[in-house]
Amino acid sequence: MKHILILANLLIVLIGHVSAANAEQTAILLRPDAVFDGQNLHAGWVVVVRGKTILAAGPAGSVAIPQNTQVVELSGQTLLPGLIDNHSHVLLHPYDEAKWTDQVLNEPLALRTARAVPQMHATLMAGFTTLRDLGTEGAGYADVGLKQAVEQGVIDGPRMIVTTRAIVATGSYGPKGAPEFDLPLGAQSADGHDELIRVVREQIGKGADWIKVYADYRWGPNGE
């Protein structure tokens, strides 16, 4: 079986070998056995990239190749576009490692953020070049910082579309405990027209790309 390489991941490795001064100027010709465009498999296609831009993809004889292009032979391999995950939570880790409540209440923000960094790298290496991260689950605006770290080249990871804290009706979200305790929540509470406007503006002002609203989250103390 032919080994499939995710195009975006391959570009990361290749561009890393090009000096920073020339990364935006040097074109790279990728010559795999085939290119999958999301619908069809095209044998004999090549892909030309420069920096972060895919200049062309098509049959080898029909693609214009800039001068001084670096050629990379990818015999036995297939390229495909980077994948998009529309629902991720990079600031959570598997519940068989720690329950959701324990993560929200007991893990320091710095630990949760640090744990997200290798998760994002692994996600990128799995071929996902864009994440829509749907809530920090008690980690405030840490997703905004992670997004900025990727954009500034501080860490490796997918492009991030972030929703920050998410919005819920008062009393509907966890963690929950004894009623006399005021516990930190996994989302931001808001009620009524004016308060929702304020919270939406606040989240956008602090870096949210999208606004996530739990329209009908569970109400009862036992989740009913």
Classify residue 156: in a domain, yes or no.
Answer: yes
Give the pLDDT mean for 73-77: 95
Q: In the chain, how many H helices and how many E strands?
A: 5, 11
Q: Could you read off the pLDDT of 82-111 as tens digits, one per residue?
A: 999 999 999 999 999 999 999 999 999 999
Residue 177: predicted pLDDT: 85
Query: Distance between CA atoms of 206 and 203, rounded to whole angstroms?
Result: 5
Pair (62, 107) in one structural domain: no
In a shared domain, residues 39 and 139: no
- Please count the structural domains in the chain: 2
Q: Is residue 60 part of a domain?
A: yes
Is residue 211 a part of any domain in this protein?
A: no
User: Structural domain of residue 128, as residue ranges?
Assistant: 84-205
Q: Which three-class secondary structure state does DSSP give residue 77? A: strand
Same domain, 33 and 114: no
Q: Tell me, what CATH number does 117's domain have? A: 3.20.20.140
Q: Which of 15-19, 24-28, 29-33 has the lowest mean pLDDT?
A: 15-19
Q: Reply yes or no on whether the pLDDT at 222 is more than 80.
A: no
Lowest mean pLDDT among 12-21, 35-44, 45-54, 91-100: 12-21
Please tell me whether residues 112 and 188 are part of one structural domain. yes
Q: Does 53 share its domain with 160?
A: no
Helices 142-151, 109-125: axis angle to 10 degrees equals 40
Q: Could you tell me if 74 and 88 lie in one domain?
A: no
Report, as an integer, the average pLDDT of 175-192: 91
One domain, residues 65 and 106: no
Same domain assignment for residues 89 and 190 = yes
What pLDDT does residue 164 have?
A: 98
User: Measured between alpha carbons, how far is 163 from 143 in angstroms, rounded to an integer?
Assistant: 8
